[in-house]
Structure formats: structure tokens, C-alpha cells
Amino acid sequence: MSYNLTSRQKALVRWFVERVRDGDLPEEFHIIQAMTGPVFADLKGERNDCPEIRAGILEALQAAEMLVVIPAKYGTRCVLTGKAYEAVESNFGAPDVSFVTHLTPLADVTNLDSEIKTRCLPILGAGSGDPKLWDSAVRTAGVILEERLRDVGGIADPGCVGSELVNAVFGSRGTLASRFLLDSERQGHRDLYAGMVGAFRNPYAHRLVDPTPEDGGAYIVFVNLLLEMLEDLRLK
């Protein structure tokens, strides 16, 4: 639902609702227009943070069904409606942009893999906009992934690397092959990790790439997802 209100009108509705919820103002309150501005006869305590109430604004809020305005002998009596609470709770119909957090997971690092947090993030602390630092962080993330493949897959040979390591873990006779009910899922995991190693891990391991922060961040988040998937497959 959209609300055809000005920013000043929205601020006033929000102030009314917050004061009522705080217990400082009853849902039906009395406003007296004094020389120094509006005076709330029912307001508890001293508050000087009320937005400006200009002539006609209460009528506008009544037209928007936020208030019921009742003329009184001295000033105006107002009653908040349910629509006013709904408007404040929905931020006046503003679109829900909470999904942005999920599209930018590095904005909240609390749920990242512990190795990523302790080995990659400190590198970026020296300058998050420097592609050279992202190069180092991404290279470290690739090593973490390779080590986790070796650890979860139970591969003791440190010389087993790259696609050979992926096949030793996810091949038809790999150490984790029994973890899959469908061979197509096992093959899908093999292809996913082999593609990651070949397309991303190897270039960073053998040359300087210096990715943009956006590309570097996407890489680290992808590695974090692959680490989570590996942990789900870890033999108990």
C-alpha cells in the first residue's frame, strides 16, 4: 500500500505513533496552538522534538485516514487510527529491501567460515579497495578450499592437488562417493569443485590477477558456500 503524504506529514505521524507506544501520549490527545507552537495537553514529560505542525497538516492527515480530528473549544482533539500504525510499521509502504543484505553477504561476516574470517579478512583490513590485497585474500581462500577438500575427503597425500584432488574426493570411487544417493549429484559436485579449481583457483595460484573488490568479494563468498557444502558432507 502506498501513502500520498509529504515527508513532513510522515514525520508527524511517526512521532505520534512512537509517543503513544512509549506511553507518553494517549491515542486520543489534545493539541493547543500556543504562540510558541503546539502544546500537547496530554503529553507526559517535557518533549521538544515534535515536528512542526503547520496549518492544514492535521486536516491532511485526517484526509489520509491517519487521524480523526475533532474541533474543541481550545485547540483540537485528535485520535490515531489503525491505519497510522500500519503506515509506520510498513515505513509508509517503502519497498522491502532487506534482500540486499543477502546479495551482499560480506556486509555481515559473522556467519563466514572461521578460516575465511581468520585468514582472509585481516588481509583486507589494510585497504579494502586495493585489488592487490584482494588478490592475496582470494588466493588464500583458494588454499583454504583445497585444504578443506583434503580434510573432509580424508586425503592424506599433500601432493594431491587440483583436479586430481577433486576426483579423489568426488570421483565415482572417491572418498565421499558414498555420501550421495544419486550418482548424478555426486557428478554434479565433482564438476562444480573441478570447475572452481580450474577456472578460479588455478589462475590465482599461478599469476597475479588483482581482482576488483566486487569480483574478489564474490569469489570469497562462493568459496564460503563451497566450504559449507563440504562440511555438510563431512563423515560423522
Q: Cα–Cα distance between 96 and 94 in angstroms, integer?
A: 6
pLDDT value of residue 75: 83
pLDDT < 70 positions in the chain = 1-2, 46-48, 55, 96-103, 236
CA distances to 60, 66, 84, 104 from 63, rounded to whole Å, are: 5, 8, 12, 41
**Residue 56: which region, alpha, beta or left (left: phi > 0; alpha: psi -120 to 50)?**
left
Residues 6 or more apart whose Cβ sits within 8 Å of residue 147: none
pLDDT value of residue 110: 83
Q: What is the pLDDT of residues 96-129, one digit of tens each?
A: 666 666 667 777 788 899 999 999 999 998 888 8
The domains of the chain are located at 7-89, 101-233
Closest Cα partner for 146 from 134, 136, 158?
A: 158
> Can you point out the beta strands (E) in the chain?
28-34, 37-40, 67-71, 76-80
Q: For the chain, count helices (H), then strands (E).
A: 11, 4
Q: Is 122 exposed, middle or buried (0-12, 13-18, 19+ CB in 10 A)?
A: exposed
Amino acid (one-letter) located at 218: A
pLDDT value of residue 71: 86
pLDDT value of residue 47: 59
C-alpha cell at 155: 586425503
pTM passes above 0.85? no
CA distances to 13, 43, 67, 182 from 94, rounded to whole Å, are: 15, 29, 21, 45
Note the CATH number of domain 7-89: 1.10.10
Q: Cα–Cα distance between 223 and 106 in angstroms, integer?
A: 12
